[in-house]
Amino acid sequence: MFDSLSDRLQGIFDGLRGRGRLSELDVDAAMREIRLALLEADVNFKVVREFVAHVKERALGADVMASLTPGQQVVKIVHDELTTLMGSSDSKLVFAGRPPTVILMAGLQGSGKTTACAKLANFLRKDGKRPVLVAADVYRPAAIDQLVTLAGRVEVPIYAPGPQVDPVKIAEDGVRFALDKGDVVIIDTAGRLHIDEELMDELVRIRAAVKPHNILLVVDAMTGQDAVTAAEQFRQRVDIDGVILTKLDGDARGGAALSVRAVTGKPIKFVSNGEKLADFEYFHPDRMASRILGMGDVLTLIEKAEETIGAKRAAEIEERIRKAAFTLDDFLDQLKQVRRMGPVSSILGMLPGLPGKQLKNVQVDDKQLDRVEAIIMSMTPQERRHPDIIDGSRRQRIARGSGAQVNEINQLLKQFRETQRLMKQFASGKPGRFGIPGLGR
């Protein structure tokens, strides 16, 4: 979503970094470019005006103008101001001292609200909570069936009496139902194609009946400033506590993510960045600012790796790397683990020093990864442990068994040898360019 903005900003900063000193004219020129980049990213114009004014004021300060690396100082200022713009610090859920914690989910139809309910339940279940879903959207066709199906997939209880029951009663009864079933209640309410009095009145009545600890508004990041406008209207009528941004993996310009906190005063609490139920996480303003500026997001990458691989398995792999015992079996295992972490392009986007324009040329086809798996599985256990024994005749046999060409076998073995070399390099503490093994010139 932020690729275009990221490329524009990094281009501006490249020009600043090349200067030994910055004049006021240099800063003015950079601020004009930053203003245009943010407006083109569909950021609210009032937000852009205030943001640029804050950055300019700090950039013209003595600390920057007298610095030996003024360009780097300006980048730091923009990073700080972007972080402040999106919320300064992480905003977590409020949990009741006495369960159950009640979470009321609101949003317009088509925002991904029902799916977000299931994603949130899945997220909380992995965090040790016992969530219960409540289907109170009685108007949209198949909304209840959809939530029942999703509840089964994430393995959480659901209260869904049917479309003939009053939504307020469903919400009240759902909270009582959860007393014996869990410690967090997530209530899916009705959405509309647009904001109207009937929708707001119903939300107000449900809020009065169940007294939620958190009211979360689900907004579609792809709708740009319309999402920000909707969030402000919901804030005025229902007094939301925070926002869940969905479809952050889309190709919209990202203005909603950069504007919603400043316009509504309410934090972004979660983001949904993929179609899978696991593609859901807390929103970290500082990490998002780093990604926009091409600094990567190593902390999120580590968290994803720990969640997918597990500490014990990671320690085993690390030990094998240090002993130079990394085999094709390990190679295949790591390939499977990486695929579970999400799209490879999104993982690469978390690595520092890789601007979006470089990643646009990275095409990772799942079918190609399946092909690699088939080639490795066509090898004998001995060949996977000792690939150096794979001669010409063995390569032909592996090619026949996997439906691949011999040159594909050669390419895979070459990649594996390079991976082994990089693993040894990593273990010895000698990273390549950008601090990432293998990205040397």
Is there a cis peptide before residue 100, judged by omega within 30 degrees of 0? Answer: yes
Q: How confident is the model at residue 431 (pLDDT cuts 50, 70, 90)?
A: very low
CATH topology of domain 301-435: 434 Repressor (Amino-terminal Domain) (1.10.260)
Tokens of 198: 């009937």
Q: How confident is the model at residue 140 (pLDDT cuts 50, 70, 90)?
A: confident
What pLDDT was estimated at residue 347? 59
What pLDDT was estimated at residue 326? 73
Tokens of 344: 């490879």
Judged against a pLDDT cut of 70, whether residue 332 lies above it is answered with yes
Lowest average pLDDT, out of 90-94, 186-190, 206-210, 293-297, goes to 293-297
Highest mean pLDDT among 29-38, 240-249, 253-262: 29-38
Q: Tens of pLDDT along 59-70?
A: 888 777 666 677
Q: Tens of pLDDT along 161-183?
A: 988 889 999 999 999 999 999 99
What pLDDT was estimated at residue 134? 97
- Provide φ and ψ at 280, rounded to 5°: -155, 130
Q: Tens of pLDDT along 31-61?
A: 999 999 888 888 888 899 999 999 999 888 8
What pLDDT was estimated at residue 439? 35
Domain boundaries, the chain: 3-86, 101-292, 301-435
Handedness of CA 19, 20, 25, 30 (dihedral sign): positive
**101-292 is a CATH 3.40.140.10 domain:** no
Distances (CA, A) of 297 to 101, 207, 284, 288, 302: 31, 37, 10, 8, 9
Highest mean pLDDT among 256-270, 329-343, 412-426: 256-270
Judged against a pLDDT cut of 90, whether residue 104 lies above it is answered with yes
Tokens of 235: 């804030």
CB atoms within 10 A of CB 30: 23
Taking residues 218-230, what's their average pLDDT?
81
Q: How confident is the model at residue 11 (pLDDT cuts 50, 70, 90)?
A: confident
Mean model confidence pLDDT for the chain: 81
Taking residues 289-317, what's their average pLDDT?
63
Taking residues 418-423, what's their average pLDDT?
73
Residues 6+ apart with CB under 8 A from 38: 5, 47, 48, 51, 52, 258
| Widest distance between CA atoms in the chain | 75
What pLDDT was estimated at residue 346? 59
What pLDDT was estimated at residue 418? 80
What pLDDT was estimated at residue 438? 34
pTM, to two decimals: 0.69
What pLDDT was estimated at residue 54? 92
Judged against a pLDDT cut of 50, whether residue 88 lies above it is answered with yes
C-alpha gyration radius of the chain: 25
Tokens of 291: 């990604």
Judged against a pLDDT cut of 90, whether residue 429 lies above it is answered with no
Q: What are the beta bridge partners of residue 215? A: 104
Judged against a pLDDT cut of 50, whether residue 336 lies above it is answered with yes
Which residue, among 439, 92, 130, has the nearest Cα to 296 in the 3D structure?
A: 439
What pLDDT was estimated at residue 300? 59
Which residue, among 174, 88, 100, has the nearest Cα to 137 in the 3D structure?
A: 174
Percent of the chain exceeding pLDDT 70 equals 79
**Higher pLDDT, residue 337 or 261:** 261
What pLDDT was estimated at residue 102? 97
- For the structural domain made of 3-86, what CATH number should be given? 1.20.120.140
Taking residues 18-24, what's their average pLDDT?
78
Residue 56 to residue 163: CA distance in whole angstroms: 55
What pLDDT was estimated at residue 296? 54
Q: What is the CA angle 409-414-418, rounded to 5?
A: 145
Judged against a pLDDT cut of 70, whether residue 237 lies above it is answered with yes
Lowest average pLDDT, out of 115-124, 348-357, 360-369, goes to 348-357
